[in-house]
Amino acid sequence: MAKKKRKPKKPAQPGVDPNEKRRERLEAKRAAKAEALAARRKKEARERLVRRVVLVGLLGLAVWFLVLRNVTPKEINGHRINDFSTAGANQHVTGTVSYQDSPPVSGQHATGSAPCGVHGQPIPSESMVHNLEHGAIGLLYAPDLDLEQVRRLEAIVADYEHSVFSMPYQGAMDSPITVAAWGHTMELAEVEPDSIEQFLEEFRRGGDAPEASIDPPCEHQEPEPYEPAEEGAEDQTSDEVELPASPSPTE
C-alpha cells in the first residue's frame, strides 16, 4: 500500500517571524519573574528597615531608662541645681546630727519622719532630712521673707496631697528661698511657681531619693500657716522645736 505523502508546509509569509509568539511568551515570563523578584526585594528591604527602626527605638529606650532618665538637670529656668554627695548618707540615728551643709539635704537622720504640708515652725533637721530621703520636697524660706511670698509658697504646697512641705528655716541660706530634695537644692530670690513646679516634677517621689518608692508617701498635716514672730520675741531654732515624728516605714 502506497504511503501518503505529507503536505508540504506553507511557506511563511514574507516579513512574519514564525517564532515571534514564542519569544513574546518567553519575554512575558521573564518580565513577570523580574517583577516578582523586584517586589520580593522591595518587601525584604521594607522589613529590614522596620527591624532597624524597632532596634534603634529599643536601644534609645534602653539608653533613656538606664542613663538619661537618671540624669539630673543642671539648671531650671536659669537657676542652678546644686548637687551634694549622698554616698553612704541614709543612716538612721538617734539624737542630733551636726550637718556640714545648710540646709542639709542628705546624711544621717532621725528614725522617724515629720508630716509634710504647711508648717509654721521649723522641722528638726534630722526629721526633715528623713522626709527628703523618702522623696519629699521642702520649700524652705528665711523667717524674714515677705509674708506675701510665704503665702505663695504655702499655696503651692496646698496644691499637693503628699510629699511637699514648707517651713521657715533658721539656719544659714545663700538665698531667701531654698527648694530642697534629697541631694539637691535650687536657690531663689523670690517665689517662681514655674521653676518650683519643674523642680517638683523632677524630684518629688523620684530623683536620687533612696526611699522614694516607699509607701505610704509623706502625707500632709492640717495646714499651720507661718506667722512672723513679734518684734523682740526670742527666735526658736530648728533644734529647739519639738515636733512629733510619724513612724518611718523603714524603721
State how far the Cα of 8 lies from the Cα of 59, in Å rounded to an integer. 77
State how far the Cα of 131 lies from the Cα of 57, in Å rounded to an integer. 37
State how far the Cα of 23 lies from the Cα of 173, in Å rounded to an integer. 94
Residue 180 in grid coordinates? 530642697
pLDDT tens series, the chain, 251 aa: 555 566 565 555 555 566 777 777 778 788 888 888 888 888 888 888 788 887 777 775 554 444 445 567 899 999 999 998 776 666 888 889 999 999 999 988 988 889 999 999 999 999 999 999 999 999 999 999 999 999 999 999 999 999 999 999 999 999 999 999 999 999 999 999 999 999 999 999 988 888 888 889 999 999 999 999 876 555 444 444 444 444 444 43
Q: 75-203, what's its fold?
A: Glutaredoxin (3.40.30)
pTM of the model: 0.67
Strand ranges (E), 46-169: 75-76, 79-83, 92-93, 109-110, 117-118, 137-141, 164-168
Say what the pLDDT of residue 66 is.
47
Q: Which residues of 115-154 are buried (b: 16+ CB within 10 A; e: fewer)?
A: bbbbbebbbbbbbbbbbbbbbbbbbbbbeebeeebbebbb
